[in-house]
Amino acid sequence: MFDVAAHPPTLLAVVNAGPMAWRNSFAAQFGVLIGPKASGEVVARIADAVFRFYCRQVIDQFGDPHDIETMAARHGLTTSVERLAGETLDHLEEVKPPSDQDINDGWEIESGSSDAGRRFFYGPDGSPQAFLDKLKAGADPTDLVH
């Protein structure tokens, strides 16, 4: 639950899904922690309060509060915030982890070793750049050194 507000894409997805989806998810995950004697109404009230907090976080992080509150006065708080969350979520850039090729291309070797040291670490020719070129070509690093 704490991770939702700290991770913008998750926050936007939760608010975009709406209060009913959040209430169902909250009841499934946290209903037992509230207590077996708690009614569904108690769980729903807590879930709604948390959802309103998430809506406020979306407004604070992604929208001009004046514009959102004006829309909210016309359409109801969650409707306008859900719309803002959906539109913002649609425009987020998907971040992908670097590929192995990206990692290999980013290698840079600075060598302050002697000629014998470079030959020991980078192979018979002692060239760091030749070593990198062979790695980028897909050679196994253990085959390149003595």
Domain range annotation of the chain:
2-91, 100-144
Q: Is 0.75 topped by the overall pTM?
A: no
Question: Cβ contacts of residue 2 below 8 Å, gap of 6+?
Answer: none
* H helix runs in the chain, sequence order: 2-6, 8-17, 19-34, 40-62, 65-75, 77-91, 100-105, 115-122, 128-136, 141-144
How far is residue 76's CA from residue 83's CA, in Å, rounded to a whole number? 11
Pick the closest to residue 56 from 72, 44, 34 (CA basis).
72
Question: Cβ contacts of residue 74 below 8 Å, gap of 6+?
Answer: 80
Bigger pLDDT: 6 or 141? Answer: 6
Q: Tell me the per-residue pLDDT of 32-83, one tens digit each, with 9 for 90 and over.
A: 777 666 677 888 888 889 998 888 888 778 776 556 555 555 544 555 667 6
Cβ contact 18:82 at 8 Å: yes
Task: Scan for tokens 């639950």, then name that residue.
Answer: 1
Please report, to the nearest 10 degrees, the dihedral formed by the alpha carbons of residues 4, 6, 10, 13 taken in order.
Answer: 80
Rg (CA), the chain: 27
Bigger pLDDT: 5 or 69? Answer: 5
